Homo-oligomer: A and B are copies of this chain.
């Protein structure tokens, strides 16, 4: 890891001014990060909450409502409103569990998958451009810092999700 080799620089990086710049960069970058999907969602009368639900259902097909709840970090009442519109609109399918029939397993329908692709492609295009502009080494650093910034529990969830993928 880099911290081992370049010990002397660490102190310079940790001035309050450097940290404040990082905070601002995070704020502005997040705005860019959500800007493109937001435009698509607005067309369709959806919001960011719909995007997040669709994203994670696509990511973990068949996950339960409870699991989605804990990934998103919202209450079931809040999620339910969003989920209901997605189900009514035919983008998400809620299947009763086979072993435990109290559980509802969530899947995207073909139309839901289409929306997911559209949203994701917009977001990935920006990410791809940023990655290209910054270079592979910067990308590795970017991911490192982001992972270190997460809450402990969230990081565990993230790593599990990350490693479960291809």
Contact = CB atoms under 8 A, between A and B. Distances in A.
A37 to B, nearest CB: 10
Interface stretch (A4-12, A61-69, A85-93): A4-12
A97 interface: no
Given A127-B19, A141-B134, A149 B6 contact: no
A120 interface: yes
Contacts of A31: 73, 150-151, 154
Contact of A1 (B28, B33, B135, B165): B135
9 contacts: A1-B141, A4-B137, A5-B137, A13-B136, A14-B128, A30-B30, A130-B148, A134-B147, A135-B141
